Chain A
Amino acid sequence: MIHIALAGGALLIFIGIWGMLTKKNIIRIIIGFSLFDTGLHVVLVGLGYLKNRTAPIVDADLPAKAASSQSVDPVPQAIVLTAIVIGLAVTSVLLVFALKLYQSKNTLDINKLRDNTND
């Protein structure tokens, strides 16, 4: 199970990077980034998973004392929540740029969206 998660995450990461490096449409590049990000999150959760343990939610079924021995590590799960939020923010900023770039040049082709005035 954990291996599937890790492998899937890694696959997603590579697909994302591949998308970012090869696609010419910046929306697709941003989608690539999203895939990359999602892959990261899957890897994150996968690494925190411990076999035969329950969710780290302290309630009637899982007393606080037993939490450390019966639940999975809560830290990666906490992290992944934050990371997802941040990924969302980054993606939205990227999309804002994409929008503005499209407004200014009327294209989404990355090759046409560069500044050639460097001198």
Chain B
Amino acid sequence: MNFDPMKIPWSLLGLVIVFTIGMFIRGIVPKITARAGMRIGIRFYQPWIDLIKHFSIQTSITHGVMFYLGPVFRLTGGVSMILFMPLIYGSWYFSNFAFAGDMVLFLYMMFFGTLGMALGAGESGHPYSAIGVSRGLAQVTVAEIPLVLALLSVAAQHNTLSITEIVAAQQGGISHWTMVTNPVATMAGMLALLGSMMNSPFNVVLAPQEIPVGPPTEYHGTFLGIMNTNRSIFPVAKVVFFMNIFFGGATNWGILILKSFIIYMWPVFVGLVFPRFRVDQSIRWFLKVPMLLGILAVALI
């Protein structure tokens, strides 16, 4: 398949839509969690206000080149993930650049932003940043195990690594969804999703409630603005990916919004119920049930 310049504006449009979805979800989710905790919560448009605030802060400092590039890496990673993702099945306009790569590309693209931002945060010289990165990396190595097993299972089931083709194979009703045809893999994958959505019990990496631990500690102003932009894109990209792999994809934007919102809420609800793990605890947890489910998923193919 060759590169068509007309893809560019359509992909950008898709990106903007995804970004908007992400911003709304990020407004609604804190509201829901607050209500669950008997609080009132923020306004649903608060993320927009924050974003404008961050971008309008002019005076800013930098700790060096890598520090400067960190957020760039971060956002590039998130945006690229969307750009390589077929958003709407059957739509030429919103299939983006999915033809350039497949599931493997998506999996490794996830690390592009993470690693880049980790490096940027590292240059700030703040120990909390490094600690956060160290925790995050350790956790992701095991959260990946059930995910990879589940994805291999799905890929073997459909005989392809291409996301588009996997979605295609699931068309024709809910009974064709991977969720139904390969439930074990779906369970493994959904458990793996918990590990990467920065919700309790796996959110010790950022530890958002307490001291500002985690990679973004030293970032502020425009830097933080860019990173917050990414926070509205990156999780949605992941969720859309899960939707495509396990839940039949989407044939229009409405379905996409609905499905991705529901998938997004899964780690949120789990987070509301369960307290936080230490990193070594979460590692052990992933090595138990999720990994066994993953192995089972592969074994059943």
In the complex they form, whether A and B have CB atoms below 8 Å apart is answered with no
List residues of chain B with CB under 8 Å of any chain A CB.
none
